[in-house]
Amino acid sequence: MLIAKSTKIEAGDLVTFKLVNGDEVVGTVEGILEEVGGGYIVSNPMTVVPSQKGVGLFPSLMTGKEKAQVVLRAQHVMMVALTTDELKPHYTQMT
């Protein structure tokens, strides 16, 4: 399968994950786990929530340390894509 460079997920990218439970999480990829099962190391994860003004962001870990890095295991991720340019300023403001 051919993967275009512009769609390849790399460390430093702001990425949106759709999880198997239906949640959508936006975060900065710090690394990609290559071990069996794989996954993503993500900093500043924010959950996408609908609001009257459109899309809102809410901290995914309410009691986690600020700037914490978390692991999203590949088995819990249904889809992954680069985050839209329209959401990037809102994410930066929230984090």
CA distance 46 to 94: 9
Q: pLDDT tens-digit profile of 2-45?
A: 555 557 899 999 999 999 999 999 999 999 998 878 999 999 99
User: Is the pLDDT confidence value at 89 over 60?
Assistant: yes
Confidence of residue 73 (pLDDT cuts 50, 70, 90): very high
Q: Both tokens of residue 69?
A: 């890095």
Q: What is the pTM of this model?
A: 0.86
Asked if 13 contacts 91 with a C-beta cutoff of 8 angstroms, the reply is no
